[in-house]
Amino acid sequence: MISTRDMNVPATGNGEAPPVPSDAAFNSLGIAKAPADTRVVVAMSGGVDSSVTAAVLVEQGYEVIGITLQLYDYGGGRARPGACCAGEDVYDARQVAERLSIPHYVLDYQSRFRAEVIDDFADAYLRGETPIPCIRCNQTVKFRDLLATARDLGAEVLATGHYVRREIGPAGPELHRAADPARDQSYFLFTTTKAQLDPLRFPLGAMASKSATRDLAQRFGLAVAEKPDSQDICFVPDGDYAAVIDKLRPDAVLPGDIVDLGGAVLGRHDGISRYTIGQRRGLGVGGGDALYVVRLEPESRRVVVGPRAALARTRVALYGVNWLGEGDLPKAGFACAVKLRSAQEPVAAVLHGGPEGTAEVVLEEPEHGVAPGQACVFYDGTRVMGGGWIRGAD
Amino acid sequence: MKHAVYMDYNATAPLRPAVGDAMNKALEITGNPSSVHRFGRLARRVIEEARRQVASLVGAEANEVIFTSGGTEANNLALGSFDGAGIVVSAAEHDSVLGAAPGATIAPVDGQGVLDLEALERLLQENPPQENLNSPPRLVSVMLANNETGVIGPVAAAAEIAHAHGALLHCDAVQAPGRIAIDMASLGADLLTLSAHKMGGPQGAGALVARGGVTVVPVQRGGGQERGFRAGTENVAAIAGFGAACDLAGDGIADQSRLAGWRDDLEARIGACAPDSKLFGAGAGRLGNTSCFTMPGVASETQVMALDLAGIAVSAGAACSSGKVGVSHVLRAMGATEAVASSAIRVSLGWQSQAGDIDQLIEAWRALYARAGAASAAAPAA
């Protein structure tokens, strides 16, 4: 299973534009300038969300510049509706920009996307992890590189079509879950730093629902209004990530044994990269009680399976922690709620900060299916307090 | 926004008014140039007049001119007529040459972008012609003026070497008309590529000039137009415009010292503003209208975007049709690192350029350099 499948679920709601704050000194993006004097770069993927983001800001009178990142190219004109940033989508983004009469540029980020996102994705699977390339992409090409380019272009703001809210708190900008919990993408943005949050804006975070966004797209006359949502990882056709890894690392995907907790061989597999912690289906070892993937052992190439009870974990070790709360990452224990995968509702936990960006999260109740490589994101109510990458769990 | 400043003549030049007049006149003509009746003859007359004008531009005979849709088609027609293994091209050639001869041997250029003639000779010696009389002739392809740097290639010397080794010489001269004089005989070119829209003519017209006795293998087959070398009804109005533009090439050449003066002024001011800025090809003979230089630490595409937002049109080395920008193979061939090559932009001037254009460019370039160049110096890019 790929976690980002859960990013887009059908939503309902009425179509209203995001509310515009009325404070006269600041425009709707919180900049003390007239909209016409505020240069805004919108990251346009060619999809409905970022297209509506651009249209809303154009309507509000901002100087909007559309930038589309060309992240990969399968060549051969392969049509992939519902995936972002390939040729079709660059074309769609350009059509929307044309419709809105805004300047639009395409940046070739293929080599850095390959190096920072795709290679990392393949290597993580080979290490027995379950990576989330969408977060890596946000962390690197979008909020580091594109943000730097937006600054170089003299833009005050980089706006994206993510469903997440940026609110001003007593100590500065805060990241919050989207108004529509079904659309919330905050899990995928946990690596956003405080410094990055400053110039970032997410105009759709306040939208009631995706259908409200589509209604706006209709009202703006955007051709992408009916375009299907992105369903998969953009560079993984048809959700077949195993095929992508086979292609990227043809010599690294090797067969091995499926064993039980005691080490007894139950069957064979075609490569640990085809499995993820907590997976039940497709093990090919039938009979008896339901078995789950409990552990992946890259060195011995073993897939260890066991009963559901063997998946229970209460202590989760994190690295690469990003803290969005005030001050430094709390060492003493910070009560919060955490999400250990994108589709999950936050659960109660206590966070203990460690050295060098590490942390330990102690769960109030055991969780089943905590997979290394996934993200653990911390919440305080609707506010995102940060998060980290899961190294392992006990 | 200030008035739009166009500084991308090497991509395409504004249409000359006289060219527009000639095209409008041609558009009023009904008739297929291949038709037998008088309507056809009228259209045919337009084409043949243009053929004389094009031939006269390069010192060729009218019957040596094959009209094409542009430079890319002419390069494909030329290179595609030879066996790839027998082709040697310079490393700084346009993509339409490199793409048309994927199997070609690449001859290096020096740090100024000038073809290394000794290397060319060595490559031809290492790969001598087959004794077999039926073996296909070989070809050397060298551009006259580089599109990115304006550097003028040693075409005549390369032709001498090519001919001494039994090879023909093709010259992509697309950037030269209206900027320097072209004479096929003194260049020693057997095949020469031209394009109308770089010289104030329309897009969609070009020519391959094939010296008498040199034949090419048609890509487009059909009705036998262009002596069978290029089938398809001719683009009469565009060809008329092409011809008219050729007649104005002398005016363009006379204008070069004005443009070169501004170009030199631009380069001096860029150097004063950013002493680390690298200038490409300034040590070689160059077109007077072209300048290629870097803004240290700032990506070419960022410069192109920022200048565009300031109303100034320039280009980054190698823009492809989608508008995205790749690292220039020309600058890489000149020894530039990827980081340096990917921070270069090309400024190219032409007949409508004004003195104030340079001021406007310098102002916007400086502002960007203060904003982005300083930031990249403080925090070197990963």
For the domain covering A312-393, report its CATH number.
2.40.30.10
Is the pLDDT confidence value at A75 over 70? Answer: no
A3-16+25-239 CATH pick, 3.40.50.620, 3.90.1150.10, 3.30.930.10, 3.40.50.1100: 3.40.50.620
ipTM over 0.90: no
User: Which runs of consecutive H residues, i.e. helices, occur in B59-116?
Assistant: 71-79, 95-100
A222-251 confidence digits (pLDDT tens)? 988 888 877 678 888 777 888 889 888 888
What structural domains and CATH numbers belong to chain B?
5-13+254-372 (3.90.1150.10), 17-250 (3.40.640.10)
Q: So what's the pLDDT on residue A234? A: 83
Q: So what's the pLDDT on residue A19? A: 54
Best residue of B298, B303, B304, B305 to probe chain A, by most A CBs closer than 10 Å: B305
Closest-CA distance of chain B to residue A168, Å:
27
Are B9 and B357 within 8 A, CB to CB?
A: no
What is the strand order of the sheet B290-294 is part of? B290-294, B344-348, B315-316
The answer to whether the CB atoms of B372 and A151 lie below 8 A apart is yes
**Angle, vertex CA A355, rays to CA A351 and CA A360, nearest 5:** 25
Best residue of B1, B300, B302, B369 to probe chain A, by most A CBs closer than 10 Å: B302
The rounded distance, in Å, linking the Cα atoms of A198 and A143 is: 11
Q: Which residue of B has its CA nearest to A104?
A: B305
Is the pLDDT confidence value at A46 over 60? Answer: yes
Neighbours of A221 (CB within 10 A): 10
Is residue A280 very low, low, confident or very high in pLDDT (cuts 50, 70, 90)?
Answer: confident
* Percent composition of chain A: helix, strand, coil (DSSP 3-state, to 5): 30, 25, 45
Question: Whose CA is closest to B169, among B177, B161, B180?
Answer: B161
Q: So what's the pLDDT on residue A20? A: 54
Can you give the residue ranges of every domain in chain A? 3-16+25-239, 255-306, 312-393
Q: Which residue of B has its CA nearest to A68?
A: B324
State the average pLDDT over residues A280-284. 76
What three-state secondary structure class fits B256?
Answer: helix
The answer to whether the CB atoms of A106 and B371 lie below 8 A apart is no
Question: Whose CA is closest to A317, among A382, A374, A384, A277?
Answer: A374
Top-confidence residue, A158 or B376: A158
CA atoms lying within 13 Å on the CB side of residue A265 = 8
The rounded distance, in Å, linking the Cα atoms of B27 and B238 is: 9
CB pairs under 8 A between A and B: 46
For the domain covering A255-306, report its CATH number.
2.30.30
Distances from the Cα of B339 to the Cα of A314, B110, B300, B304, B332, angstroms: 48, 19, 10, 16, 10
* Facing residue for B372 by CB, picked from A90, A107, A152: A152
State the average pLDDT over residues A280-304. 85
Q: Which residue of A has its CA nearest to B308?
A: A103
**Annotated catalytic residue, options B171, B246, B273, B320:** B320
**Among A81-95, A174-188, B247-261, whose mean pLDDT is lowest?**
A81-95
Q: So what's the pLDDT on residue B320? A: 53
State the average pLDDT over residues A9-13. 36
Q: So what's the pLDDT on residue A25? A: 80
Q: So what's the pLDDT on residue A230? A: 74
> From its phi and psi, is residue B49 left (phi > 0), alpha (psi between -120 and 50) or beta?
alpha
Q: Which residues of B touch A (CB under 8 A)?
A: 298-299, 301-302, 305-306, 308-309, 322-326, 367-368, 371-372, 375
Best residue of A64, A144, A153 to probe chain B, by most B CBs closer than 10 Å: A153
Q: Which residues of A touch B371 (CB under 8 A)?
A: 151-152, 154
The answer to whether the CB atoms of A108 and B372 lie below 8 A apart is no
pLDDT in tens, chain B (382 residues): 457 999 999 999 999 999 999 999 999 999 999 999 999 999 999 999 999 999 999 999 999 999 999 999 999 999 999 988 899 999 999 999 999 999 899 999 999 999 999 999 999 988 766 655 555 679 999 999 999 999 999 999 999 999 999 999 999 999 999 999 999 999 999 999 999 999 999 999 999 999 998 999 999 999 999 999 999 999 999 999 999 999 999 999 999 999 999 999 999 999 999 999 999 999 999 999 999 999 999 999 999 999 999 999 999 865 554 455 578 899 999 999 999 999 999 999 999 999 899 999 999 999 999 998 766 665 544 3
Q: So what's the pLDDT on residue A239? A: 79
B320 is catalytic: yes
Q: So what's the pLDDT on residue A10? A: 35
Share above pLDDT 90 across residues of chain A, in percent, rounded to a whole number: 70
Q: So what's the pLDDT on residue A288? A: 72
A137 is catalytic: yes
Mean predicted lDDT score pLDDT of chain A: 88
Distances from the Cα of A122 to the Cα of A258, A369, B8, B222, angstroms: 21, 21, 42, 51
The rounded distance, in Å, linking the Cα atoms of A373 and B158 is: 59
